[in-house]
Amino acid sequence: MSILPLRPRTGRVRAKMQGALALIKAQAALARGWPAHHRVFGHLDDDVWFSVNTTAYRRHATLRKILPSLPDAQALSVTVGRA
């Protein structure tokens, strides 16, 4: 049981706007040559951040350039299993 209150899911329109803004900021940061991740992604709600790291990451090369990839499933199972 979590002691933190659950945040409501971000509305569809707001989520799309946040995602689009993050993509624009990521493109601008890459063009400048110094991506400040907190400036690019700091405005995202938690559920939008999850979407950016999963679905949008697979769709947009810009996000793949600026965000690190996750380790493969085998590596995760070994390290998470030791925690």
Largest CA distance in the chain: 44
Give the pLDDT confidence score for residue 9 in this predicted structure: 85
pTM for the predicted model, two decimal places: 0.73
**Is 26 within 8 Å of 40 (Cβ atoms)?**
yes
40-58: pLDDT as tens digits? 999 999 999 999 999 999 9
Q: Residue 44, Cα to own-chain centre: how many angstroms?
A: 8
CA neighbor of 43 nearest in space, from 20, 67, 18, 8 = 18
**Is 57 within 8 Å of 64 (Cβ atoms)?**
yes
Which tokens is 83 given?
A: 């925690």
Is pLDDT above 70 for 4? no
